[in-house]
Structure 1
Amino acid sequence: MRSFVRLGLLATTFLAAPAFAEDPATPAAVAADAQETTSVGTGAADRRGEILVTARRRAESSQDVPLAISVIGGEHIDATGSFNVGRLQQLTPTLQYYSSNPRNTAVNIRGLGSPFGLTNDGIEQGVGIYIDDVYNARVASATFDFLDVAQIEVLRGPQGTLYGKNTTAGAINITTNQPTFDFEGKAEVSVGNYNFKQAKAAISGPLTDNLAARIAVSSTSRRGTIYNVTSNEWQNSQDNLGLRGQLLWKPTDTLEVTFAGDYSAQDPNCCATVYVRTGTTQRAANRQYAALAAAAGYTAASTNPFDRVTDLDTNLRAKNKIGGASARIKWDVAGGTLTSITAWRFWDWDPSNDRDYTGLSVVKLSQNPSQQDQYTQELRYNYSNSKIDFVLGGFGFYQRIDTQGTEQQGEDASRWSINPGNVPAGSSGCGSTAAQKLACDPSVLDGLTAKNVQYLKNTSLALFGQLAYHITPEWTVQPGVRLNYDKKEGYYQRRVFDGDGTELVLNSTNTYTARQAAQLAIYAPQEISPEFSDWNFSYDFNTSYKITPDILVYATYAKSFKSGGINQNGVPTDANYRAITSAETVKPESVHHYEVGIKTQFWDRKATLNVSIFRTDIANYQANVNNSQYGVLRGYLANAEAVRSQGVEWDFSVRPSERFNAYVNGAYTDAKYRKFTDAPCPPELSGGTTVSGTQTAGAAGVAGSLSPANCDVSGQRLPGVSKWSFSWGGEYNVPAKILGKEGKVYLGYDGSYRSNFSSNPSPSAYTWIDGYDLHNFRLGFRSEGGFDVYGWVRNAFDRHYFEQLYVASGNTGLIAGSVGDSRTWGFTIKSSF
């Protein structure tokens, strides 16, 4: 019903009179110009002329913007199959994307941004995602198909002055194609292996002399890539639908009014993991994965993850709906431009996961459906003359998220999760002691259910301004400031019921039967109401100098922040199963950023080389961590004392003629915990009895040894960060005439490489992912009249690689993973008019 009401509101407002519009020097103008300046079938960096961007909230050449920015044209996005942010990372080396499902998605730049691991609604992302100037608070939007995109700008480094709302690592600025007063349209159909089918269409044109409309639709489906022998079905499929409609009203030369509405839905059979490996922890030998599996008579469907076979016994689901409406007005007044952007967004999430990563019924249910509504209002004034350019503005944001969760243990949970102590030989884990009887009694944990209810109210207000003062035509200084207020109010309640439906409650004497204690060790009741509020002042200073018309050097210092957070998935408990209230909130991140760069064009502007060197220091870095408690299955937030990311990036492109273009982009990123002394320990240093007093922790990976309470991971690499990453490619074409049509036959290639990276917040010997390279090819014919047909192959050499690895809860040593796509191939036919 809720989604129906939202869709009704979206449709009603879309058909109503136009409201507000957007500065045509932002998405509308750039969309039109990008069509002309971005070479068809190539990256936006491979240009015929200038590429206009809106990184500073005004249209200007990307080579004149004194910051590190990657620009990818819509045609290149389509040609390379980069239909969402996840695929985009193959074209932009310092962009990292990780997703175990749409909600649990992280998008990072230079190793910074979202905490790595399961998503916690009480924390902000550090990479802002903007679609036609509208901020998308939930990173789940990154998992949807790009729809009618003109170009994408990836802004690297803090963007807090103009973009604000927690863009400490950067921003992704997506521009869609806008309504036109000339009739035009395009359609595209693709088919491929794994029953891949994709269709896209868009049409635009005038309704009256001053009213234009544009409608776009996209549909993607694909069979799953992992076979589940338990359910006898393919999993990790794709099933995406996207719709977007826009109206543009231009009553005068000084006033433009635009309204947009969109709706996207995903309903895949997702998201399955596979067995990867086991590693020895400090648990007792009979509590390690191998012994537990043997006692249960269980064998994984395959121990080779690239067999792409699993046996998960939970019905998987990852239904995801997102959409909204935006209203914009742009008015040229008082020598400048006044822009208002009003938007409402919604997001509905309906999952079902298998959190034990096995075919056993240990965790029978794990599902936390949630619903979000967000409202944003931005008002800004732009002014430019020969001496100064400035932007002044204000921003308001309100978000409400409601979540209703259910987690339930299964019939195998008792044997798997209850420690029976020393077990007589040949007893298969059963004996005469009380603990052994509990472990062998399925009814102790079977049906044990945690019902979670939570909500988050998130309010943010900001005033901002940026001034570019041209001391000389070549030398510009640019200060910027932003004043921000954030307030978060949360609530989390977990009620626990045994298999008979009797509620477990904590008592004042902290005395429980052995059966109750075993149950409370899995799920303990909890009720917290965390709150956070704070003012923050951020600022930056940039200076740039044009040595020649084609050489720009710049330097930047930025003092930025990311808002404090609250733990919305529950917090760790003490020895009496009580919530540790000190873990309810996390401090804001404090960011100091330094960067120098050079932007050059040479060889009669046929070649472009941009280089940047950066260092970002963060105090109170917000990390998403896990510990060995079963009652904290979803992890929680904590502050690492200090983090540093530094490195060098370069972007090179060349177009010697209309027949050939090529690009090579690369990055070296050194991102580390400078200081994190009380981090959760990796699995090889967990699971044993916690040391106390003068005891010394045992060696890593030795069963039955003592475990440290916390670990010092200072100096170790941040999760998800490759030291080296590259992307490269090119396209060559020759004139041809096919079936009477004049055009070009072309061969395109795009490659990427990233070195190894850690897949656990506290680096573990068991969760390093080896580096890998991917290679994509396309061969086709493009006519002068807008017809394009080509065949494509992605991951052409069928590289085996992991996207992410997961440590199973309880420190049994089990490591599961998500595998990357194998070789895919297909054909695409496109036509535009």
Structure 2
Amino acid sequence: MSKSEVTPAGRKALSAVLCLGVGLTALSAAAPALAQEQEAAEETRTMQTVTITATKREQTLQDVPIAVSVVDDTTIERAAIVDLNDLQSIIPSLRVGQLQSSANTNFVIRGFGNGANNAGIEPSVGVFIDGVYRSRSASQISDLPNIERVEVLRGPQSTLFGKNASAGVISVVTKKPQYEFGGVVDGTISNENGYRANGYVTGPLAENLAGAVGVTYNKRDGYVEDIGTGTETNERNRWGIRGDLLFEPDVNTSFRLMADYDQIDELCCAAANVVNGPTGAIVQAIGGQIVPEDPYSYRVAYNLPSTNKVDNGGLSLQADFDFEKVRLTSITAYRMSRLETNQDSDFTGADLLGENSNKTDIDTFTQEFRLTSTDGERLDWMVGGFYFDEKVDIQNALLYGTDYRAYANALAGGLNPNTGVITDILAGLESALGLPVGTTLAQAGQGFRDDAGQDNTAWSLFGTVDYRLTDRLTATIGLNYTEDKKDARNSIQATDVLSSLDFVAIGFAQTMAGFGVNAQNPAQVAAFAQANPAAFAAIQAAVQNPAQNPLLALQPLQFLPPFLGFPNAVEDGRSKDSATTYTLRLAYDVNDNLNTYVSYATGFKATSWNLSRDSRPFASDFIPGSPVTSPPSSPIRDAGLALPNLTTGSRYAGPEDSTVFEVGLKGVYSNVAFNLAYFDQTIEGFQSNVFTGTGFALANAGKQSNKGLEFDVTWNPISNLQLMVAGTLQDPVYDSFPNSASGDLSGEKVYGIPEVATSTAATYFFDVAGWDAYVRGDWQYESAVDHFDSDAEQAAFGEQKKVNTFNASTGFTNESGLGVTLWVRNVFNDEYITTAFPAVAQAGSYMGYPVAPRSYGVTLRKTF
């Protein structure tokens, strides 16, 4: 069976959901009669009306004809959701992955998402907090203070949001300051010595002026023991403060000024050894510790702790002016993000990589203007403009450690398995090349130091028009025009002498010297070739043959080949993209309880530059090869920019263009509400960023698609019980991806995206001695998926990812506002690897990030 086929389990689940959709329609038709019979006795069954602002105007969730999930503050409290990472447990279409640092968080909606591990890549899933765009994951993961709701919009949303929403949007809305004094304070004690405190207070400051202040503090020991350094990693150590002023000089004018600052200073994140390949024995032979093939012991062995420090802050001003039949909104914002990390990226107790540090500074200014109609007649419209100006500065260092030379000698065949003695093979090479012996090749401190950056300016005009053709039928047209310009740069100081050696040229020089020819003298070489053409051709072939040139056996040790910086004479480091995207939709109200819609929308994301040490010239600009092989002409070679062992890859990934066709059905009745949507979504040129073991390969997938069904149902079968089930059934496929890092993936299933993902929850409400109480349980399920798109790598890794996680909580609140919540996440210690990858410079070994084990705690809360 090819990877693109839906499995029997997927077909069975798909059939079940189709039956569920039919059943819900029948249930919806019967619900009014049921409600009339029991309306007086069971008023508490009435479904709560949820108001959202995803469409830039207030509407109820059921009235919005788009695929959107909403999590309000009550659900956040009851489900013990602390930050955006936890949202995926109740929104099946959303996946959130935290990778090697606290700042590397990736958001995926309907299988589409990227943006981690490279500051040049903006995410395909846009995150907005109070209307302000957060351009990188480091500025998105703060603990959630004073949240009112979180709205997750699925599919491209460029006609509603001005910046990068090709796959979807996460919109976080916080509570406005109030003119009555009030607030909440809560404290949590949890396992692993966890302590969390939050406080929020609001009230009047003067006539027409209200203010609010929120603070968060979150500290917890690490749940992973690092037996190499004696520390605990995967800890929590973060805090934040947020101030909010609301000034309303009259009923038609309001100003909201918000300022925030938060800091993360943690040891994170541990990658465990899942497959211990042949290099594991070498690591141990040179004195390095490994905890082999036991990822769920939550024990690792590193030689240095992985530090993370992230500082985020910003200031925004939203101004709203109500005129006759129209509202003018202006949102002006400045954001800054400062990231400093240093990771033990070989993930062993050996000092192979002594430093993998990153310092990234991002400064962002955004300005948005919107005009929104307010007359409520047959025509509703919104038009807006968005401006984005961002500066990114990056400094990286990837340097070898003190054990690297011994490791390189062992990889080169210098390890005696019987005695454990390692012969210094590189010393012989140094001597043969006339280099200082013992101090030249594979030395601690050698590697890469790079200085990269990007200046990005963009602007867009966008808007939507809703026209009620009849009292029940509404047509929507939305447009967005975007221009995006980037000036990128990257320069690297490469000091790895071993990786700079051209072993073909060296072998050629040594062979020619035997004939008395100086290979550095073109005239002597030409004369020899003319006099001895057959012999010269044989020499050229021999130096490229590992059987005849033993130096070629050392090529696998050249992990950090020389880097060609840009801009240069061939590559200008500039990109300029523009696109027009649109939304077309028809929405029909079947009756007051049931509506349906059909829509077609397009989205766009501009070019993303590879601002990392893995940035390499395109194959169209350079043809690798030793001068000995007489490689064909290419622009970089013709410009005199060729370097020994220079390899090709990508400087950037071109724009993403997304389309989605969607049909939806929404219903709300006295005791049941449901949403059902079929989607067929495609991204042309999806910006794929895949770790290969020594770096990241950034490339455009020709075409990636996903189609399926999404559903969510909330049902109150009795007045005290609420049931919820939500799910996504999908079939993600690489329609065309001939040049991936794993070869031609065209027609293959996209790895890491489950065919079936569901979230189920039950909440029961009751009274205990005058206290309002509840007990809640939820279950997150994802069908098994591969960790790699390469069949060979997946076979070597073996384990698939399958999620089967339960969470539970219970809470009690009295009339004075005092409450207590007891909660457990991952009740049964579900075990799976969230993300897997080839071990760095350790062929045959694989690492992975194990899911967090069971956590539990108690929260005390006082509302006033």
**TM-score > 0.5 by shorter chain:** yes
Secondary structure of the 1:348 match is strand
Q: What is the rounded CA distance, in whole Å, between the counterparts of 2:424 and 2:771 in structure 1?
A: 82
Amino acid paired to 2:83: N
Q: Is residue 2:805 matched to residue 1:774?
A: yes
User: 1:745 aligns to what?
Assistant: 773
User: 1:62 aligns to what?
Assistant: 61
Using the TM superposition, give the Cα deviation of residue 277 of structure 1 relative to its aligned residue in structure 2, in angstroms: 1.4
Q: Is residue 2:49 matched to residue 1:50?
A: yes
User: 2:173 aligns to what?
Assistant: 175
| CA pair 803-542 structure 1, distance change in 2 beyond 3 A | same
Q: Is residue 2:511 matched to residue 1:444?
A: no
Q: Is residue 2:400 matched to residue 1:409?
A: yes
| CA pair 469-673 structure 1, distance change in 2 beyond 3 A | same
- 2:584 counterpart (514, 538, 541): 541
- For residues 791-830 of structure 1, the aligned pairs below 5 Å read 791-810=822-841, 812-830=843-861
- 2:355 counterpart (351, 361, 365): 365
- 1:732 counterpart (738, 759, 764): 764
Q: Deviations over 1:134-160 (max 9, x none)?
A: 110012233221111011011111111
Using the TM superposition, give the Cα deviation of residue 78 of structure 1 relative to its aligned residue in structure 2, in angstroms: 2.4
User: 1:29 aligns to what?
Assistant: none
| CA pair 422-243 structure 1, distance change in 2 beyond 3 A | closer
**Bigger mean CA offset, 411-420 vs 554-563:** 411-420
Q: What is the rounded CA distance, in whole Å, between the counterparts of 2:406 and 2:94 in structure 1?
A: 43
- 2:306 counterpart (313, 316, 330): 316
Q: Deviations over 1:617-663 (max 9, x none)?
A: 222111113446xxxx4413111111111111100001245422121
Q: What is the rounded CA distance, in whole Å, between the counterparts of 2:598 and 2:124 in structure 1?
A: 22
Q: Return 5+ residue gaps in structure 2 as ranges.
A: 1-44, 432-436, 510-550, 568-572, 618-623, 626-642
**Contact 2:499/2:560 (8 A) holds in 1:** no
- For residues 510-521 of structure 1, the aligned pairs below 5 Å read 521=559
The count of aligned residue pairs is 736
| CA pair 425-416 structure 1, distance change in 2 beyond 3 A | closer
Secondary structure of the 1:143 match is coil
**Contact 2:78/2:810 (8 A) holds in 1:** no
Q: What is the rounded CA distance, in whole Å, between the counterparts of 2:70 and 2:691 in structure 1?
A: 36
Amino acid paired to 1:492: N
Using the TM superposition, give the Cα deviation of residue 425 of structure 1 relative to its aligned residue in structure 2, in angstroms: 7.4
**Contact 2:260/2:314 (8 A) holds in 1:** yes
**Contact 1:423/1:436 (8 A) holds in 2:** no
User: 1:694 aligns to what?
Assistant: none
- For residues 425-504 of structure 1, the aligned pairs below 5 Å read 426=418, 444-447=441-444, 448-497=446-495
Secondary structure of the 1:600 match is strand
User: 1:758 aligns to what?
Assistant: 786
Secondary structure of the 1:248 match is strand
Q: Is residue 2:563 matched to residue 1:532?
A: no
**Contact 1:621/1:639 (8 A) holds in 2:** yes
| CA pair 750-433 structure 1, distance change in 2 beyond 3 A | closer
Using the TM superposition, give the Cα deviation of residue 104 of structure 1 relative to its aligned residue in structure 2, in angstroms: 2.3
| TM-score, structure 1 normalization | 0.84
User: 2:387 aligns to what?
Assistant: 396
Q: Deviations over 1:667-709 (max 9, x none)?
A: 112112111112113xxxxxxxxxxxxxxxxxxxxxxxxxxxx
**Contact 1:412/1:442 (8 A) holds in 2:** no
Using the TM superposition, give the Cα deviation of residue 297 of structure 1 relative to its aligned residue in structure 2, in angstroms: 5.2
User: 2:820 aligns to what?
Assistant: 789
| CA pair 173-551 structure 1, distance change in 2 beyond 3 A | same
Q: Deviations over 1:434-474 (max 9, x none)?
A: 69767996862122131111111111100011100100110
- For residues 240-319 of structure 1, the aligned pairs below 5 Å read 240-278=238-276, 288-293=278-283, 295-296=285-286, 298-319=288-309
**Contact 1:86/1:143 (8 A) holds in 2:** yes
| CA pair 148-432 structure 1, distance change in 2 beyond 3 A | closer
**Contact 2:442/2:498 (8 A) holds in 1:** no
- 2:412 counterpart (393, 405, 420): 420
Amino acid paired to 1:318: N
| TM-score, structure 2 normalization | 0.81
**Contact 1:504/1:525 (8 A) holds in 2:** no
Q: Say which one has the larger Rg.
A: 2
- For residues 214-253 of structure 1, the aligned pairs below 5 Å read 214-253=212-251
**Contact 1:756/1:768 (8 A) holds in 2:** no
Using the TM superposition, give the Cα deviation of residue 223 of structure 1 relative to its aligned residue in structure 2, in angstroms: 0.5
Q: What is the rounded CA distance, in whole Å, between the counterparts of 1:354 and 1:133 in structure 2?
A: 37
Q: Deviations over 1:32-59 (max 9, x none)?
A: xxxxxxxxxxxxxx97431110111000
Q: What is the rounded CA distance, in whole Å, between the counterparts of 2:782 and 2:236 in structure 1?
A: 25
Q: What is the rounded CA distance, in whole Å, between the counterparts of 2:439 and 2:47 in structure 1?
A: 69
Using the TM superposition, give the Cα deviation of residue 776 of structure 1 relative to its aligned residue in structure 2, in angstroms: 1.4
- 2:154 counterpart (149, 153, 156): 156
User: 2:104 aligns to what?
Assistant: 104
Q: Is residue 2:591 matched to residue 1:594?
A: no
Amino acid paired to 2:330: S
Using the TM superposition, give the Cα deviation of residue 402 of structure 1 relative to its aligned residue in structure 2, in angstroms: 0.6
**Contact 2:102/2:268 (8 A) holds in 1:** no
Secondary structure of the 1:88 match is helix
**Contact 2:289/2:301 (8 A) holds in 1:** no
| CA pair 92-563 structure 1, distance change in 2 beyond 3 A | same
- For residues 683-762 of structure 1, the aligned pairs below 5 Å read 711-737=743-769, 742-760=770-788, 762=790
Percent identity of paired positions between Structure 1 and Structure 2 = 27
| CA pair 425-752 structure 1, distance change in 2 beyond 3 A | closer
Amino acid paired to 2:269: C
Q: Deviations over 1:373-404 (max 9, x none)?
A: 00000000000432111000100001111111
Q: What is the rounded CA distance, in whole Å, between the counterparts of 2:301 and 2:650 in structure 1?
A: 36
Q: What is the rounded CA distance, in whole Å, between the counterparts of 2:486 and 2:789 in structure 1?
A: 25
| CA pair 390-430 structure 1, distance change in 2 beyond 3 A | same
User: 2:42 aligns to what?
Assistant: none
User: 2:671 aligns to what?
Assistant: 606
Q: What is the rounded CA distance, in whole Å, between the counterparts of 2:689 and 2:754 in structure 1?
A: 19
Q: What is the rounded CA distance, in whole Å, between the counterparts of 1:247 and 1:57 in structure 2?
A: 21
Q: Return 5+ residue gaps in structure 1 as ranges.
A: 1-45, 280-287, 682-710
Q: Deviations over 1:240-263 (max 9, x none)?
A: 101110111110110001100011
Query: Superposition RMSD on alpha carbons, in Å?
Result: 2.8
Q: What is the rounded CA distance, in whole Å, between the counterparts of 2:232 and 2:691 in structure 1?
A: 30
Secondary structure of the 1:268 match is strand
User: 1:20 aligns to what?
Assistant: none
**Contact 1:330/1:340 (8 A) holds in 2:** yes
Using the TM superposition, give the Cα deviation of residue 723 of structure 1 relative to its aligned residue in structure 2, in angstroms: 1.2
User: 1:21 aligns to what?
Assistant: none
Q: Deviations over 1:549-593 (max 9, x none)?
A: 111111111122211121111324744546567721221112121
User: 1:662 aligns to what?
Assistant: 723
Q: What is the rounded CA distance, in whole Å, between the counterparts of 1:532 and 1:517 in structure 2?
A: 35
Secondary structure of the 1:771 match is strand
